[in-house]
């Protein structure tokens, strides 16, 4: 576990984008995927918007994914395992990098075929509590032709990151413009933010 944490942090320090290929174990990723698909089948995912509780807009020309917020108090064995992993990572991040993270929020995300999310920053204009963004993918056997890459807009180049199963991507919420490119297959992930409020 610590090796994955180090990989994520060291790659972030090197290039502003941390990537750990096997941050989620194969069994945990599979169970979380099952949870997400069960919620989708039960029509418990809702259309995502832009903004926060104060200002929220829904525009499918900007963002067309569906989400369901995770609740640490909900009694789900595999979500509890996920939150324990996040707690361990935050403690390690705070102990080694003095980041001052005090909380987090995560949701399941599903991009249906033909979905995308146009360029954006993750930090709200009217709320600066989101410090770091994290995305963890739940897509077994993903192929390049399936699309759905996370495209990071660096100052001098674009970085396309495939949504491969178990992979985690980590970056500062306020620093990097990014987008989700058009997906040709259902694209599943857990997306969230480490916060300082």
Mean pLDDT for the chain overall: 93
- Compute the average pLDDT of residues 111-118: 96
**Which neighbouring-strand residues pair with 154?**
none
- Compute the average pLDDT of residues 77-87: 97
pLDDT for 169 equals 98
pLDDT category of residue 53 using cuts at 50, 70 and 90: low
| Residue among 133, 122, 119 at smallest CA distance from 192 | 133
pLDDT of 18 over the 80 cut: yes
Question: Among 9-23, 50-64, 108-122, 133-147, where is mean pLDDT lowest?
Answer: 50-64
The CA distance from 118 to 127, in Å, is 21
Please say whether the beta carbons of 122 and 133 come within 8 A: yes
Which has the higher per-residue pLDDT, 8 or 124? 8
pLDDT for 48 equals 83
pLDDT for 54 equals 47
In order of their start, the domains of the chain are 2-195 (2.60.120.620)
- Compute the average pLDDT of residues 118-124: 86
- Sign of the Cα pseudo-torsion (142, 148, 154, 157, in order): positive
pLDDT for 55 equals 47
């Amino acid at each position: 576990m610590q090796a994955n944490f180090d990989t994520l942090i060291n790659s972030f320090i090197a290039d502003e984008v941390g990537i750990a290929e096997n941050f989620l174990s194969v069994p945990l990723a599979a169970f979380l995927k099952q949870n997400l698909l069960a919620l989708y089948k039960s029509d418990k995912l809702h259309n995502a918007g832009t903004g926060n509780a104060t200002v929220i807009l829904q525009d499918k020309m900007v963002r067309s994914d569906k989400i369901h917020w995770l609740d640490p108090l909900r009694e789900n064995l595999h979500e509890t395992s996920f939150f324990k992993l996040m707690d361990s990572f935050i403690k390690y991040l705070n102990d080694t990098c003095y980041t001052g993270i005090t909380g987090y929020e995560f949701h399941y995300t599903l991009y249906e075929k033909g979905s995308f999310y146009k360029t954006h920053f993750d930090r709200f204009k009217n709320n600066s509590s989101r410090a770091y963004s994290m995305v963890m993918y739940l897509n077994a056997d993903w192929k390049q032709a399936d699309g759905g890459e996370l495209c990071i807009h660096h100052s001098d180049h674009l970085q396309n990151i495939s949504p491969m199963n178990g992979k985690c991507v980590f970056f500062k919420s306020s620093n990097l413009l990014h987008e989700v490119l058009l997906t040709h297959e259902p694209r599943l992930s857990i997306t969230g933010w480490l916060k300082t409020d």
